Structure 1
Amino acid sequence: MNNKNYNNNPEGLRHIRTLIDEQKTVMMASELDTVPFSICPMTLQQMDQQGDLWFFVAKDSGLFQDIEKDNRVQIIYNDEQKHTYISIYGNATHIIANQKKDELWNSNLLTWFEGKDDPNLALISVNMESAFYWDNENAKLVSLFKIGKGGSVKEESGSGVKGYVNL
């Protein structure tokens, strides 16, 4: 597996953007100083042009309250089909912005909210500080090729990339 690190380099943000290319359920951890920390599934709505990650959240949720006490969060992103894994550390901020709500709202959110005008609905914006990523998109094809050639799945394929992005 190759290593590629980006320190205060805009290319790192561009690389993370290529890995996060759609709405996705992620795990968001809060209360990072406690054991066990608090964790809940959240749907990533968008990564904006500045690299901030946007989520809808209920104002009466534990996550919303945790962020009021300590805004540090860890986000675990997993895309098994693409063999992409990301751990993101950042700071979350509660946002009340009707224009952004209108932009990001979709009918799938009706499972948790009464509508985009639900008084319990808020947005969280997470400003990324750093991220670790593992991008193994070609690993499955290489492993299958090696199986066909009599190789072992446990062999190192060399096709993946892992790295660190410090924003």
Structure 2
Amino acid sequence: MATDRNEDEMRVKVREMIAEIGTAIFTTIDEEGRLHGRPMRTQKPDKDGRTLWFFTRADSPKIGELAQDDRVLLGYADTSSQDYVSIYGHARVVKDVEQKKALWTEGLRTWLPEGAESPEVALIAVTIEGAEYWDGVSSSLRFAYGYAQAIVTGKPDHSGENAKVSFHH
């Protein structure tokens, strides 16, 4: 089902959904032109609302992939609530120590034991160009109603919200 929200409200909705889901399948394009996805935890977005941050190892293969082609696709999914977000944009590698320290949380040491100040640790900043979201049927009661309606009418339930959102200002 389409939404009655305006563009600003839809951008807020996208940010709220990805904050709640937290982990994305971060997809890059490798040197052979193949898509390469891996789970990555999203950090706090910038105040501009258009930049998402991810920590990584500075020697990660994705760093080389981004140097060749900076296009990325981020896929977020919460199957329990039937919420999904797809984001496309461009990524850049950031090694600024102050930025790393500003976004660092101690739990990241599990994957990056060197800490934010290490040159072995980098950030990836993704500038969002656009997104699409599906805010689905989250309650079992709503699902049961949609199921019954589909059986009676022979038509699928369209009670969820779906929208394409531009992040260009």
Q: How does the TM-score come out when normalised to structure 1?
A: 0.82
Q: Provide the identity percentage.
A: 30
Count residues in correspondence.
Answer: 163
Q: How does the TM-score come out when normalised to structure 2?
A: 0.81
Structure 1 residue 29 corresponds to structure 2 residue 27: yes
- The amino acid that maps onto 1:119 is P
Aligned to 1:82: 81
Confirm or deny: 8 A CA contact 1:57 1:124 kept in the other structure. yes
Unpaired segments of 5 or more residues in structure 1? none
Aligned to 2:9: 11
Question: C-alpha separation between the residues in 2 aligned to 1:53 and 1:132?
Answer: 16
Structure of higher RCO (CA pairs closer than 8 Å, 6+ residues apart): 1
Structure with the largest fraction of strand = 1
Question: C-alpha separation between the residues in 2 aligned to 1:133 and 1:33?
Answer: 29
The superposition leaves residues 35-75 of structure 1 with CA deviations (integer Å, 9 ceiling, x where unpaired) of: 53111111111222212111001111111111111111000
Unpaired segments of 5 or more residues in structure 2? none
Question: C-alpha separation between the residues in 1 aligned to 2:8 and 2:93?
Answer: 25
SS at the partner of 2:143?
Answer: helix
Question: C-alpha separation between the residues in 1 aligned to 2:31 and 2:159?
Answer: 36
Confirm or deny: 8 A CA contact 1:5 1:165 kept in the other structure. no
Pick closer, same or farther for the CA change 1:132–1:56 going to 2, 3 Å.
same
- The amino acid that maps onto 1:26 is A
Question: C-alpha separation between the residues in 1 aligned to 2:46 and 2:53?
Answer: 8
Aligned to 1:162: 162
Confirm or deny: 8 A CA contact 2:137 2:143 kept in the other structure. no
